[in-house]
């Protein structure tokens, strides 16, 4: 199983005031809040952690059949590498591995149950107008936010 999340940074800035009192404590662990507060770009870090949690939740939800999105119980670890951002998200004894891309317009994260699976995930990201027939390509997982649609495909056609 794989998961995926895209965050349109412009849309996020319109929809969400993460700087308001109590917001970070509701969604992020104490350690994650510390990472945000000490980062060079707190806004990007907030949405990076959020997209990691969302992508991992999509797997966790399908695996456990529990529909209980509790972001503070999804615990992120980030590894900034020269060629990208890798990480992991732990929840309820399960661990999911992530790979994220950040650019000026959006943040996109893919997640998998095994770290080696990340290499077998391909991604297509579209801006509005989305191709109307995108579901015909049978993506394993779909995410959309604001102006962006992210489709991911698993080499073994695994389900999201």
Q: Where are the domains of the chain?
A: 2-114
Q: What whole-number distance in Å separates Cα of residue 144 and Cα of residue 103?
A: 16
Per-residue pLDDT of 103-142, as tens digits, reads 999 999 999 999 999 999 999 999 999 888 988 999 999 9
The 3-class secondary structure across 68-117, one letter per residue, is CCCHHHCEEEEEEECCEEEEEEEECCEEEEEEEEECCCEEEEEEECCHHH
Contact 151, 127 (CB under 8 A): no
Q: What whole-number distance in Å separates Cα of residue 119 and Cα of residue 153?
A: 11
Closest CA to 125 of 94, 153, 158: 153
Token pair listed for 120 = 């077998």
Q: Residue 70 — pLDDT band, cuts 50, 70, 90?
A: confident
Q: How much of the chain exceeds pLDDT 70, in percent?
A: 96
What's the confidence (pLDDT) of residue 157?
52
Contact 30, 24 (CB under 8 A): no
Residue 82 has pLDDT above 90, yes or no: no
Report the SS3 class of residue 62: helix
CATH numeric code, 2-114: 3.90.470.20
Closest CA to 109 of 28, 1, 26, 3: 3
Per-residue pLDDT of 43-57, as tens digits, reads 999 999 999 999 999
């Amino acid at each position: 199983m794989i998961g995926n999340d895209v965050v349109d940074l412009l849309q996020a800035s319109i929809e969400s005031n993460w700087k308001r009192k109590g917001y970070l404590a509701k969604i992020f662990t104490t350690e994650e809040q510390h990472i945000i507060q000490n980062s060079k770009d707190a806004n990007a870090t907030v949405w990076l952690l959020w997209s990691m949690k969302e992508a991992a939740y999509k797997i966790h939800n399908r695996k456990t059949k529990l529909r209980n999105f509790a972001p503070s119980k999804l615990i992120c670890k980030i590894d900034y590498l020269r060629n990208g951002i890798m990480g992991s998200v732990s929840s309820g004894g399960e661990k999911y591995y992530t790979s994220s891309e950040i650019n000026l317009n959006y943040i996109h994260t893919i997640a998998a149950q095994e770290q080696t699976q990340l290499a077998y995930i391909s991604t297509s990201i579209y801006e509005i107008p989305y191709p109307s027939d995108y579901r015909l390509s049978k993506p394993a997982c779909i995410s959309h936010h604001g102006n962006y649609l992210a489709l991911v495909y698993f080499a073994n056609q695994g389900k999201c």
